[in-house]
Structure 1
Amino acid sequence: MNMHIQSESIWIESVIGSRKISNIIWALLLLIGATGFLLTGISSYLNKQIIPLFPQTIVFAPQGLIMSFYGIAGLFLSGYLWCIIFWNVGSGYNELDREKGMISIFRWGFPGTNRRIRIRFLLGDIQAVHLVISEGFRARSIISFRLKDQQYIPLIQIQESSTLQEIEERAAKLAQFLSLPIEGI
C-alpha cells in the first residue's frame, strides 16, 4: 500500500519498509532450509531418521556437526529477518510543505529509544533533486535531495518493477512541485 497525497502546497507520500513480498519469501526459504539443515544434523547425532523423505547417510562428526551449525546460524538469520518484517523497519512517510518551507522525513527503525527517526530541514537548503539508477542483478533506483553542503538525503527507493520512464516521471513531478532542477538523468 503506497499512499500519496498531494495538494497545491503539501506533498505526503508513504514509504514501504521491510514488509515486502520478496523479504517474506527470503525469510520463509531461509527458515525452511535452516530447519532442514538442523534436523539433518540432529538425526545424524541420534543416528535415527527424523526426516522420512531423506535417508540417513551422514555421520555426526564432522558432517552432522557442520549441518547443525549451519542450521542454527540460519535460524538466527531467519529470526532476524522475521523481526525486521514484523517491526516494518524502514517504513514511514515523506512530507513536503511548500507553504511552511519545511521537509520532514519520518522512518521507523529498530525498537528502542531511537525507534522513531525524523529528519527535518528547510526547503531552501535543497539544491536539486538527485536521481540514481543502477542496473544489473540488483537494479535499484533512488530519488534523493542534494543539499547545499553536497550531502545527499535519500527520499524514495523505487521498486524493481518500475520502468525507467516511470522513475523519471516521478522525479520530474517531485522537482516540479518543489521548483528544483533534476540531476542524474
Structure 2
Amino acid sequence: MTTSSPVLTYPVLGARRPSNYIYAVIVAIGAVGFSLAGLSSYFHINLLPTETPLNLNFIPQGLALSFYGVAGTLLDIYLWTAIVLDIGGGFNEFNLDTGKLRIFRLGFPGKNRTLDFSYALADVQAVKVEIRDGLNPKRSLYLRLKGRGDIPLTEVGQPISLSALEDRAAELAKFLSVPLEGI
C-alpha cells in the first residue's frame, strides 16, 4: 500500500479463510458417513455405497455412530454459520485527515454484531511487534495507546509471515510517525 494517501486501510480476514472451508467440508462428509452408518444399522438397509454396516448392532454401535453423526452435523452448522457471517472479519483504518483510528470487526448476530472502535491518532504512542516462536508461535502487531494499553491489529488464526509482519509494522509506524517497538 502507498502511504501518499491520507488513509491507510488493512483488511482483516475472518472466518472466510480457505482452511475453514476445507474443515467444514471434511466435517460434513464425516457427519453424513456416521449418520448413514447408524441409520443402516437401525433399519438393516445398506445406505453406504462402500461399506456394509448391516452386521452392526444398533445398540451400542449404531447408536454411537448416530450420535457422532448428529454431533458432526451440529459442528458443521456452526462452521458454515461462521463462514457465511464472516465472524472476525473487518478492517483497520488509519485516517490522517480526521485524525482517527478505526477498528471494525463482525461478530455473531445480536445486539453486538459489529464491533466498531474509534480512537484519536494523537493517542497512539507506538507500534509494537510481538514475536514468539516454538511449539505455539505467535506473531502479532499491536498499537500502544495512551492510557488504554495495547490494541491487537492482526487477525486470529495462522501466524502471519515474519517478513509481512515486519513490513506492515514498519509501514504503519512510518505512516503514523510513531516509534516501532519489539524488532
Please give the range of the TM-score, normalised by the shorter of the 2 chains: 0.7 to 0.9
The equivalent of 2:27 in structure 1 is: 30
**TM-score after normalising by structure 1:** 0.87
Indicate yes or no: 2:73 matched with 1:55.
no
Residue deviations 1:8-51, cap 9 Å, x none?
Answer: 42212222221111100001101111111111111111122110
1:118, 1:86 → 2: CA distance?
20
| Structure 2 letter corresponding to 1:85 | I
> Which of 59-68 and 5-14 deviates more?
5-14
Alpha-carbon separation, structure 2, partners of 1:114 and 1:149: 24
Written as runs of structure 1 = structure 2, the 5 A alignment for 1:55-134 is 55-56=52-53, 57-134=55-132
**Equivalent AA in structure 2 for residue 153 of structure 1:** I
Whether the 8 Å CA contact 2:24–2:76 is kept in 1: the answer is yes
CA contact (8 A) 1:141 1:157 kept: no
Percent of aligned pairs with the same amino acid: 42
Q: Give the equivalent residue in structure 1 for 2:161.
A: 163
Per the alignment, in what secondary structure is the counterpart of residue 124 of structure 1?
Answer: helix
Shift of 1:136: 4.8
Structure 2: segments with no counterpart, 5+ residues: none
Q: Structure 1 residues 11-20 or 66-75, which shifts more?
A: 11-20
Flag the structure with more relative contact order, 1 or 2, with Cα contacts below 8 A and sequence separation at least 6.
2
AA aligned opposite 2:9: I
3-state DSSP class of the match of 1:100? coil
CA distance in 2, matches of 1:177, 1:9: 9
- Counterpart CA distance in 1 for 2:135 and 2:36 is 33
**CA deviations over 1:38-72 (Å, ceiling 9, x no partner):** 11111111122110211224211111111111110
Name 1:175's counterpart in structure 2: 173
Paired positions, count: 182
TM-score normalised per structure 2:
0.87
Measured in 1, the distance between the counterparts of 2:2 and 2:110 equals: 30
**1:87 to partner: Cα distance:** 1.1
Match of 2:37 among 32, 37, 40: 40
**Could you say which residue in structure 2 is the equivalent of 1:147?**
145
Change (3 A) 1:64 1:158: closer
Moved over 6 A (4+): none
Q: For residues 104 and 32 of structure 1, what CA distance do their matches in structure 2 show?
A: 40
